[in-house]
Structure 1
Amino acid sequence: MTLEANIEPAKNLAAKTAGIMAVVVGPSGAGKDTLMNLAARHFAGRSDIHFVRRVITREGDAGNEDHKSVSDADFDAMEHAGAFAVSWEAHGLKYGIPATVSDELARGHLVVANGSRSVLDRFQAVFPRLKIINVTAQREVLAERLMARGRESREDVLKRLERSSLTVKGGYDVANIDNSGTLDEAGRSIVAELEALIKR
């Protein structure tokens, strides 16, 4: 099941914490979108786990993520109306997690969202039962993947990787998944992590 946004205001989200919010994060090139898509297919049809369809101010066919595409003006209007549990800006885009996630959490279900390490404090403020799944890969692997995209020079990629951290800082409950090897290996890892959360 996929959760989408509506424009009903969020109401006391922090009080609806029977379920667990799992936020998947990781550096560019780690493959978190691919792993989330794999996990979503694996759990398709399950009523106790829900993958969030984020609202993003980018074209609907851009990237490797199924998202709701809106204009900047529409995003701002939705945010003003309380349609998002968490929202943030990064790299010139705006991202929103629908406030409707509270309904599934109130039922004791697991909700999985694509997030950002830079705003985990916002997730923690709203979702006390929070699990961070940090998808990483060896720097050499990240460099190869980023250069294969053809968007940056090798020098720019290496400089960016030198500045970036592969760890999650702060007192969060974190599970690390190394996606340096085969997709099957990392896929089994993320599925196992989510299965364990469902059983909590």
Structure 2
Amino acid sequence: MTAEANIKPANDLLAETAGVMAVVVGPSGAGKDTLMNLAARHFVGRPDVHFVRRVITREGDAGNEDHKSVSDADFDAMEHAGAFAVSWEAHGLKYGIPAGVRDELARGHLVIANGSRSALHRFQSAFPRLKVINITATREVLAERLMARGRESREDVLKRLERSSLTVQGSYDVADIDNSGTLEEAGRVIISVLEALIAR
């Protein structure tokens, strides 16, 4: 799959520079989906704030995210047709950000998408005004949350956390949010970050 072929270079996106694309990233267990859902409820009814419904090659009822579920073949066909502003692969799945987000950005709106740290270079190429929101937590908290899911052994979880980085690598405009404490605390921070982007 050649996702890069469907990314427009920044100098071809002059009409799309008015709005801001905020991409939310973070390690498993940091509470990324939960915080995004909380923020979406806060901004419900706001015509200038849009939370992206991603296209993913997984079952519709899997995970904690409202997404459009498609087969691998349908995803590839959509990608070939230019249906995505950004697409990437991770953990055996394919993810796509619908091309329609460009229309909202052209109107000067704020668009928020669930992303991946490994795909940030693609977001940066596609969106001239990009804000990265990195949701993190302490390794101890991450380990506790991941083990509570019951999908991995304690040994596997600890090994994965040792290999992973909690920071965003690269020259991006990043807001780090520590979600080690209460959801209410982190929720106030992400809402504040997003409100500041609306005011830009």
Question: What TM-score, normalized to structure 2?
Answer: 0.94
- Residue identity opposite 1:124 in structure 2: Q
Find the counterpart in structure 2 of residue 18 from structure 1: 18
Q: What letter matches 2:113 in structure 1?
A: A
Residue of structure 1 in register with 2:99 after alignment? 99
Amino acid paired to 2:61: D
CA distance in 1, matches of 2:23, 2:119: 11
3-state SS of paired residue (2:124): helix
Deviation at 1:14? 2.4
> In the alignment, does 2:174 pair up with 1:179?
no
Q: SS in structure 1 opposite 2:61?
A: coil
What is the deviation of 1:43? 0.2
Mapped partners of 2:133, 2:75: distance in 1: 27
Q: CA 1:156/1:105 → structure 2, altered by over 3 Å: closer, same or farther?
A: same
1:71-90 superposed matches below 5 A = 71-90=71-90
Corresponding residue number in structure 2 for 1:37: 37
Contact 2:7–2:126 under 8 Å retained in 1: no
1:154 alignment counterpart: 154
Q: Residue 88 of structure 2 contacts residue 95 of structure 2 at CA under 8 Å; is this kept in 1?
A: yes
- Identity percentage of aligned residues: 84
Residue 34 of structure 1: CA displacement?
0.2
Whether the 8 Å CA contact 1:10–1:82 is kept in 2: the answer is no
Partner SS state of residue 158, structure 1: helix
1:139 maps onto 2:154 in alignment: no
Residue 5 of structure 1 is matched in structure 2 by none
The answer as to whether partners of 1:10 and 1:100 remain within 8 angstroms in 2 is: no
Q: Classify the secondary structure of the residue corresponding to 1:27.
A: coil
Q: Which position in structure 2 is the counterpart of 1:64? A: 64
Structure 2 gap segments, 5+ residues each: 1-5
Q: Which residue does the alignment assign to 1:165?
A: 165
CA distance in 1, matches of 2:7, 2:170: 26
Tell me how far apart the structure 2 counterparts of residues 77 and 141 of structure 1 sit (CA, whole Å): 40
Give the letter for the 1:187 counterpart. G
Which digits, 9 at most, give the CA deviation of each residue in 1:26-84, with x for residues without a partner?
00000000000000000000011100000000000000000000000100000000000
Report if the CA contact (8 A) 1:60-1:68 is conserved: yes
SS where residue 59 of structure 1 aligns? coil
2:123 corresponds to: 123
1:28 aligns with 2:24: no
**Over aligned residue pairs, what C-alpha RMSD do you find?**
1.3
Q: CA deviation at 1:128?
A: 1.0
Q: Deviations over 1:177-199 (max 9, x none)?
A: 00000000000000000000000
Measure the CA separation in 2 of the matches of 1:14 and 1:52.
19
Distance 1:117 1:33 in 2: 15
Gaps of 5+ in 1: 1-8
2:133–2:175 Cα contact (<8 Å) kept? yes
Q: What per-residue deviation string (whole Å, max 9, x for no partner) do you get for residues 113-158 of structure 1?
A: 0000001000000101000000000000000000000000000000
Give TM-score scaled by structure 1 length.
0.94
Whole-angstrom distance in 2 between the partners of 1:43 and 1:89:
29
